[in-house]
Every structure is written in C-alpha cells, then in structure tokens.
Amino acid sequence: MAPHRKPRPAGTRMAGIRTPGLATAALTSVALLSQTANAAPPADDKPSLEEVEKKVDDLYRQAESATEKYNAAKEKTTKQRTRVGTLLDEVAQRTQKLNDARERLGSFAAAQYRTGASAPDTTTFLLADSPQDYFDQTQLMSRLTDHQKDAVDAYVTEQAATTTKRQEASQSLETLTESQSALKTAKATVQHKLATARELLSKLTAEEKARLAAIEKEKRAAADRKAEELARQQAAAAQQTAQQDPASGTGSTSGATGATGSTGSTGSTGSTGSAGSSYSTKAGKALAFARAQIGKPYVWGATGPGSYDCSGFTQAVWKAAGVTLPRTTYDQVNAGTTVSLSNIQPGDLVFFYDDISHVGLYIGNGMMIHAPKPGAYVREESIFYDGESAIHSVVRPA
C-alpha cells in the first residue's frame, strides 16, 4: 500500500525551502540590501548649494569675530610689551640707585671699623639687607650722625621702590604671557575658519560656483533696492522738514541727497549739535579717504595702507579726518553718539550682528564703503547687504 501522507499546509517549510512567494520576496530583499551596501552614498548626503553658502558665510563671520579678538589681543600685547620694557628699565635704574645707597652705607661701616669704634650693632644696622627692621630701635639710631641717618633713609626708600617695581614688572610679564597666549589662540581660530571655508568652496563644481555667484548677485540687488527705499524715505522726510521750516533749507537731509558726491559733505542734520558743519567737514575728509581705498584687499588684522580688515579700515578713514578711533569694533561702537537708522548720515559708522563683528562707513543713499571679508576688496555696498536685521547700530564718531 502506498503510504498515507498528510497534505502540506500552505506557506510551511519543506526541506529548508520557502514557498515560492516568500522565497521571491526574500531574494528581492537580499538583492536590495546588497545594492545598498555597495552603492555610493545617496546624493542627499551632499550639502545643498544653499547650505554651503550659509556655512561659508557663517565661517567668514566667525573668522571676522575672531579677527576682532585677535586685534584686541594684539593691541593689548603691544601695549603690555611696551609697559614691561619701561618697567624693566625702571627696575634697572632703581637697582643702581639701591646699590649706590648700599655702598654709601658700607662706606660708613668701613670707616667705623677703621676708627676702632666699638659699635658692632651700628655696623650690623648699616650693612643689613633691611635696615628698616632696625629703624625703631632708638638706641641704635642715636649713635648715627645726621649724614648717616639720611643715607639710611635713602637706602630704605630705594629698597622699597625697587621691590615695588620688581613686583610690577613680574605681574606685567605674566599679563604679557597671557596676552600672547590669547593672541596665538585668536590667530589659530581665524586661520582654521578661513581654511574650512576655502575647503568648502574648493569642492564646488564650476556650475555650482556659477549658481552661487547668481545667488550673490540677487542678494546684492535686493539689498540695493532696500537702500534706495531708505534714500527715498530720507528725501521725503527732508522735504517735509523744509516745508515746515523753510529757514532750515534743503541742506538738512540725513544724507539721502548728494551724499555720494566727491566729498560727501552734504547732508548734515540741524537737529543734532554734532551734525553741524564741523562734522560734515570731517565726514567729507573721511569719505574722500575711504573712496581712495576702494579696490584694496581685505586682510585680517591689517590697518593699511595696502590692505585692511573692517575695523582697521574705519580707524584709518577717520584718522585721515583727524579723529582717533579705537582699534576694534567692540570699542569703536562706543566711540561716539548712537543715532537711529532714520537719522543716519555720511560719515557715520554702521555696525553689524549681535557680536558687533563688522563695521562699515556710511556714504549716503543707503550705501557704505567697507572691507567685507577675506577674498574680497574694499568696496561700496548697501548697508542691507546681509538684511536689515543684521544691522546692530549706527554711531556718529565725531
């Protein structure tokens, strides 16, 4: 008899082989997994052009912020190095005076010894490292002549002054070391940020670079439109002021009209004392100098005349007008009177970002001259080049 067999339920194994439907699905899954493992990373892993642009812009901003820290550390290091040198000179001079005073005391002790005077305590007093320790001993002091007492006073004074100068020099050397360390750190940070930005840009294809240039062009066009809008608003405000007060004349504009002329001296505001003819004259000199720098390269840490960073540029510009500004953006923002954006006029300094890491010189009509970033040159540009929200404050420096 033929053996009896039970029918196989659908979907069960037999001799280690799946049913056709499950086997096909399994093979498909294995194939897909194999393809995924061997395939190149998906294109989505590569950052978009917009992401690269934002990353590069952020790196440039971080580099500029680090540059201002570098500038501050460099300035502090320079001042501290000068201070240390002065103190060391003073220590040397004080030490010489101290030695002279000690020799004078020694001559008194030697003379006392030669005469055979029996006053060992007095001799010890005269030759001690710290005669002031004996100063309150009236019995010893009574044995000294007035001339000897004067010598002791001179020695004690010089010893105290020398000790003080040595302590100051030691503290200044410690501060100098700290400043040099901060300078080194800031420099390394700038170099790292710039190197990372260059690396990102170097990986772009020619097509991507062209697209990036187009994006930048559109951003500049939008910023220029915003600048034109500001100029129109200022012109309208000036016209209204002139109608209300004809005696004020049209010269009371806030820099909207005629501010981009050869001197930029027009556009003073009669409502503020610092905005009179004196300021306009200085601003005119500053603007004339600024225009002469257009085309010079941005170099971090540079103050001219061949290249500039942003604060080095504004410092040099106002120096040409006879006004001394601090070295860094952090200090320049406090070196004048803060004014509103609506009252901005040629010569004012425009500061950007929450960390106040960038500054430009306003020239009128919503435009400024500034040293933008590494790889760029001193140029005219809308103050809205990175959006209105990027503007931190406006300062009138003189």
Is residue 315's pLDDT more than 90?
yes
Q: Is residue 292 part of a domain?
A: yes
Residues 313 and 196 in one domain: no
Residues 96 and 192 in one domain: yes
* Top-ranked range on mean pLDDT: pick from 258-267, 270-279, 286-295: 286-295
Residue 152 sits in a domain whose CATH number is 1.10.287
Residues 195 and 306 in one domain: no
What are the beta bridge partners of residue 370?
Answer: 379
Is residue 389's pLDDT more than 50?
yes
Question: 0.75 cut: is pTM over it?
Answer: no
Q: Is residue 4 part of a domain?
A: no
Residues 178 and 303 in one domain: no
Q: Is residue 136 part of a domain?
A: yes
Residues 286 and 193 in one domain: no
Q: What percent of the chain clears pLDDT 90, i.e. is strictly above it?
A: 42
Is residue 33's pLDDT more than 70?
no
Q: Is residue 271 part of a domain?
A: no
**What pLDDT, on a 0 to 100 scale, did the predictor assign at position 112?**
61
Mean pLDDT calculated for residue range 15-32: 39
Residue 12 binned pLDDT confidence (cut-offs 50, 70, 90): very low
Which of 183, 201, 219 finishes a domain?
A: 201
Mean pLDDT calculated for residue range 251-262: 42
Which of 148, 182, 201 finishes a domain?
A: 201
Residues 281 and 168 in one domain: no
Kindly report which listed range (29-33, 215-219, 348-352) carries the lowest average pLDDT score. 29-33
Is residue 225's pLDDT more than 70?
yes
Q: Is residue 233 part of a domain?
A: no
Residues 193 and 332 in one domain: no
Residues 92 and 184 in one domain: yes
Residue 372 sits in a domain whose CATH number is 3.90.1720.10
Domain count, the chain: 2
**What pLDDT, on a 0 to 100 scale, did the predictor assign at position 31?**
41
Residues 189 and 102 in one domain: yes
Is residue 175's pLDDT more than 60?
yes
Going by C-alpha positions, the residue among 313, 309, 384, 375 that lies closest to residue 352 is 384
**What pLDDT, on a 0 to 100 scale, did the predictor assign at position 53?**
87
Structural domain that includes position 299:
276-395
Q: Is residue 337 part of a domain?
A: yes
**What pLDDT, on a 0 to 100 scale, did the predictor assign at position 83?**
77
The predicted-structure confidence for 52-96, as pLDDT tens digits, reads as follows 888 988 999 899 999 999 999 898 888 888 877 887 787 787 777
Q: Is residue 295 part of a domain?
A: yes
Residues 282 and 179 in one domain: no
Going by C-alpha positions, the residue among 398, 212, 225 that lies closest to residue 317 is 398
Residues 155 and 53 in one domain: yes
Contact 298, 378 (CB under 8 A): yes
**What pLDDT, on a 0 to 100 scale, did the predictor assign at position 133?**
53
Q: Is residue 343 part of a domain?
A: yes
Residues 170 and 62 in one domain: yes
Which of 201, 229, 256 finishes a domain?
A: 201
The predicted-structure confidence for 141-170, as pLDDT tens digits, reads as follows 555 666 666 666 677 777 777 788 788 778
